[in-house]
Amino acid sequence: MKKKMFLVLFLVALVLAPAASATLTTSSAANSKYAVGLNLGTNTGVGFQYRMNREFDVIGNLGLNNFGLKYLSFDVAANYKVYEFSIEKADFDVTVGVGPYVGIPIDAESKVALSVLAPVGLVYSINDNDIPLDLYLRIAPGLKILPEIGFGFSGYLGALWRFN
C-alpha cells in the first residue's frame, strides 16, 4: 500500500511541477513564487511553497506518515523569515510558522488526526538559475487535537525546486 501511495504522490509532483512553472511571470528562479520538491521526515512525500515575498511564504507537505502510523498526511503553514546569517559565502534563513496538520487514515484501525504545528526552519537557497534549489531542515512541535489532546511533533529535511 505504501508503494502505491508513494507512486501516486510522485505522479502528482510530476503533474504539478510543469503546471506551476508555466504560470509564472517572474524572470528569475531566485525570485519566483512557486517551488515543488521532495520532503523527507515524519511526513515523506511532496513539499511545496508559495512565496508571497522574501519575508513570508506558505509551505506545505503531502505524503505518508513514516512512523508506523497509517496516514495520508497533509500539513500547511504560514511561514515567516525571522533571521538571516551567512557562513562564508553561504546565506541561511531562519523561519518560524504556524499551521494545521491533518492525518487521513488509510486503514480501518486508525482515526483521523488533527494537530496545530509551529515549524522552525533553517533554509539554504541556491540562488542560481541553473540550479534553483531551496534546501531546508524544519522541526515542528505542536499540539495534537485529534484523536486525543497531546504533544505533536514533525520533522523534515527536504529540497524544493524553484521555478522561473
- pLDDT, tens digit, 9 for 90 and up, residues 38-62: 989 888 899 999 988 888 999 999 9
What pLDDT does residue 2 have?
53
- At 69, is the pLDDT very low, low, confident or very high (cuts 50, 70, 90)? low
State the Cα angle at 82 between 27 and 31, rounded to 5°. 5
Asked whether 151 and 141 are in contact (CB, 8 A), the reply is yes
Percentage of the chain beyond pLDDT 90 is 39
What pLDDT does residue 17 have?
46
55: left (phi over 0), alpha (psi -120 to 50) or beta: alpha
Q: What would the pLDDT profile of 8-24 be if each residue is shown by its tens digit?
A: 445 445 444 444 444 44
Q: Indicate whether 81 pLDDT > 80.
A: yes
Q: What would the pLDDT profile of 119-133 be if each residue is shown by its tens digit?
A: 999 999 887 767 888
CATH of domain 2-22+33-162: 2.40.160
Asked whether 76 and 58 are in contact (CB, 8 A), the reply is yes
Which tops the pLDDT comparison, 110 or 147?
147
What pLDDT does residue 3 have?
54
What pLDDT does residue 18 have?
44
Distance between CA 160 and CA 29 in Å, rounded? 12
Q: Which residues contact 91 (CB under 8 A, 6 or more apart)?
A: 84, 85, 124, 125
- At 27, is the pLDDT very low, low, confident or very high (cuts 50, 70, 90)? very low
Domain boundaries, the chain: 2-22+33-162
**Of the ranges 56-65, 127-136, 143-152, which one carries the lowest mean pLDDT score?**
127-136
- Give the residue-averaged pLDDT of 32-39: 88
Q: What is the pTM of this model?
A: 0.73
Residue 23: exposure state from Cβ atoms within 10 A (0-12, 13-18, ≥19)? exposed
Percentage of the chain beyond pLDDT 70 is 77
